[in-house]
């Protein structure tokens, strides 16, 4: 490792501090330029880069070969946000229910097993960094960006399961990244859109927000991602997000909490940064603050400008080369540990045991399914003979069907196999039941209303409440357990925390009486 550093130019060193995104599913001229001429240390995949398992593996192999053949010959960090649940990037990979489902199951061994399986899929697709787990304590029901991405609202639960997830990823040879330090759970603002502020005193931050990160460091987490959130109790200068705060990254994370791994920023093109200091100046400031890896996910021009600005900051004396060297050492040490500095194993999706992973996802979905309210609805006797109507809603990019273009969602398909008289009504956004729809649901023994983020799409809960005046209504919350806050008259409420195939199957099996609902709410929804 030392010999690599000694032979690196300033430009090569600074390049290693950057992780960049690009817009295609193959190696394009821009990412080639960033690897060959700007010496970037890593790339990040989004859905735009991923078409299939085979294509993803081939892309990873091509990028690593390009890096190894370039001047310096240092392999890449290749990362993705494969959190499970609502944040999954990989087409064709196993869709595991997410963190809040793991929180509802509250099983450390199961959490580790899910993380190990996720690592196996990532590694065989050439992805060596998972930007997970989320260690934010979601104690704010109005949080627009974390929610079910969190394990729950109890810092001890989040810490326990977070450490188990880290163990599983890293034992599988994939770098774990705890995020978003020092905590994004108690915000009602999305840092993609604006700068959130958490005004709690330091004693409360120690007890809640920081606790899971302390435990992650004790568990040996490889990397920690910063939050674009302002913490006045830690950073005295007004309006400085944690990502740009030396008090947070060096004073707190390095000096006080003794974290020795790699600090990576959240994307520097999010509006919390863009509309305060800007991506380019932000890149300089975050390195001054203590970050090792600067994430610029989208703009090719901003990527080049940011690297140029950091090089200029070193040449002008604003940042010392010793400071750059410290970050490069941490990066090379982690690459040597998890990847190998001289060669990279070829990605091969044929090595993935999808059959066992699917069973594991179904096990988690069944163990996490939570019955929150039940006024003499369950168990349903002779359900197969009942008249059941399922109502769901068009939800844009979210597809509840296994294959695009299918009219029925998976949940309906599972029920359809067993229930003789099953009807399915799909409504457009904000739509009300037509006269024909009302005729169709007449005399239903049970009406199931499938909500998805009804806290935002309130018409979904409003419809369920109206129908509950004269019918037996079950609300199936396919994402957000906080939908329960909008429920009063509705007789029953279950939540899966996620719309994954396994989650929909578990919900159907519960209604059919095949399984019990064993999950416990990991957040307060009253």
Tens of pLDDT, residue by residue over 35-63, are 999 999 999 999 999 999 999 999 999 99
Q: Could you tell me which residues are beta bridge partners of residue 421?
A: 387
Q: What pLDDT score was predicted for residue 394?
A: 84
Q: Which residues contact 470 (CB under 8 A, 6 or more apart)?
A: none
For the record, the structure tokens of 183 come out as: 């905590």
Q: What pLDDT score was predicted for residue 407?
A: 54
C-alpha dihedral over 501, 502, 507, 509, to 10 degrees?
A: 110
| 287 close to 17: Cβ distance less than 8 angstroms | yes
Concatenating the DSSP letter of every residue in 138-185 gives ---TT-SSSGGGSS-S-HHHHHHHHHHHHHHHHHTT-EEEEEEET--T
For the record, the structure tokens of 175 come out as: 């770098």
| 14 close to 324: Cβ distance less than 8 angstroms | yes
Could you tell me what percentage of the chain is helix, strand and coil, using 3-state DSSP and rounding each to the nearest 5? 40, 15, 45
Residue 469 backbone dihedrals phi, psi, to 5 degrees: -65, -30
Q: What pLDDT score was predicted for residue 337?
A: 96
CA atoms within 13 A on the CB side of 485: 16
Q: What pLDDT score was predicted for residue 405?
A: 47
- CA 359 vs. chain centroid, Å, equals 21
Residue 475 backbone dihedrals phi, psi, to 5 degrees: -95, 125
Q: Go through the domains of the chain in sequence order and give each one's CATH number.
A: 2-351 (3.20.20.300), 369-511 (3.40.50.1700)
Residue 176 backbone dihedrals phi, psi, to 5 degrees: -90, 145
Q: What pLDDT score was predicted for residue 59?
A: 98
Q: Which of 192, 325, 348, 423 is catalytic?
A: 192
**3-state DSSP assignment of residue 129:** strand
Q: What pLDDT score was predicted for residue 396?
A: 56
- The helix (run of H) or strand (run of E) holding residue 303 is helix 300-315
Cα angle vertex 88, ends 205, 448, to 5°? 95
Q: Please identify every stretch of the chain with a pLDDT value under 50, giving residue numbers as ranges.
A: 397, 404-405
Q: What pLDDT score was predicted for residue 383?
A: 87
Q: What pLDDT score was predicted for residue 1?
A: 60
CA distance 295 to 21: 8
C-alpha dihedral over 223, 91, 68, 266, to 10 degrees?
A: -30
Is residue 266 annotated as a catalytic residue, yes or no?
Answer: yes
Is residue 184 annotated as a catalytic residue, yes or no?
Answer: no
Strands 370-374, 387-393: pairing is unpaired
Q: What pLDDT score was predicted for residue 333?
A: 97
Q: Which of 81, 266, 392, 498 is catalytic?
A: 266
């Amino acid at each position: 490792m030392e010999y690599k550093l000694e032979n690196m130019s300033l430009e090569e060193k600074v390049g290693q501090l950057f992780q960049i995104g690009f817009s295609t599913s193959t190696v394009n001229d821009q990412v080639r330029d960033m690897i060959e001429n700007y010496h970037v240390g890593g790339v990040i995949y989004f859905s735009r880069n991923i078409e299939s398992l085979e294509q993803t593996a081939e892309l990873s192999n091509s990028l690593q070969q390009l890096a190894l053949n370039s001047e310096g010959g240092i392999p890449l960090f290749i990362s993705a946000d494969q959190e499970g649940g609502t944040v999954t990037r990989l087409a064709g990979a196993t869709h595991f229910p997410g963190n809040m489902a793991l929180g509802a199951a509250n099983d450390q061994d199961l959490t580790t097993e899910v993380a190990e399986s996720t690592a196996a899929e990532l590694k065989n697709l050439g992805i060596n960094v998972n930007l997970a787990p989320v260690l934010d304590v979601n104690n704010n029901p109005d949080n627009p960006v974390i929610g079910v991405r969190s394990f729950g609202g109890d810092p001890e639960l989040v810490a326990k399961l977070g450490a188990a997830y880290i163990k599983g990823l890293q034992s599988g040879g994939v770098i774990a990244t705890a995020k978003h330090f020092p905590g994004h759970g108690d915000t009602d603002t999305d840092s993609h859109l604006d700068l959130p502020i958490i005004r709690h005193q330091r004693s409360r931050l120690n007890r809640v927000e920081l606790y899971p990160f302390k435990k992650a460091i004790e568990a040996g987490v490889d990397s920690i991602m910063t939050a674009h959130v302002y913490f006045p109790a830690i950073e005295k200068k007004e309006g400085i997000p944690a990502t740009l705060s030396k008090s947070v990254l060096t004073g707190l994370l390095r000096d006080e909490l003794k974290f020795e791994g790699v600090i990576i920023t959240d994307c520097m093109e999010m509006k919390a940064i863009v509309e305060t200091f800007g991506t380019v100046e932000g890149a300089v400031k975050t390195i001054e603050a203590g970050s090792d890896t600067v994430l610029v996910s989208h703009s090719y021009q901003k990527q080049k400008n940011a690297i140029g600005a950091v090089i200029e900051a070193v040449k002008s004396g604003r940042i010392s080369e010793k400071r750059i060297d410290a970050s490069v050492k941490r990066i090379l040490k982690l690459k040597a540990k998890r990847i190998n500095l001289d060669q990279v194993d070829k990605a091969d999706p044929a090595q993935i045991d999808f059959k066992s992973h699917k069973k594991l996802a179904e096990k988690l979905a069944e163990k996490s399914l939570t019955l929150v309210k039940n006024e003499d609805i369950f168990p349903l006797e002779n359900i197969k003979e009942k008249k059941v109507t399922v109502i769901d809603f068009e939800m844009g990019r979210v597809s509840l069907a296994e294959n695009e273009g299918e009219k029925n969602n998976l949940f309906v398909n599972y029920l359809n196999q067993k229930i003789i008289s099953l009807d399915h009504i799909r409504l457009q956004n904000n739509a009300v039941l037509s006269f024909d729809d009302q005729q169709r649901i007449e005399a239903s023994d049970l009406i199931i209303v499938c909500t998805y983020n009804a806290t935002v799409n309130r018409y979904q809960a409003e419809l369920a409440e109206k129908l509950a005046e004269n019918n037996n209504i079950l609300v199936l919350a396919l994402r957000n357990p906080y939908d329960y806050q909008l429920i009063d008259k509705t007789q029953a409420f279950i939540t899966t925390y996620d719309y994954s195939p396994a989650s929909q199957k578990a919900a159907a099996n519960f209604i059919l009486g095949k399984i019990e609902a064993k999950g416990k709410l990991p957040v307060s929804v009253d």
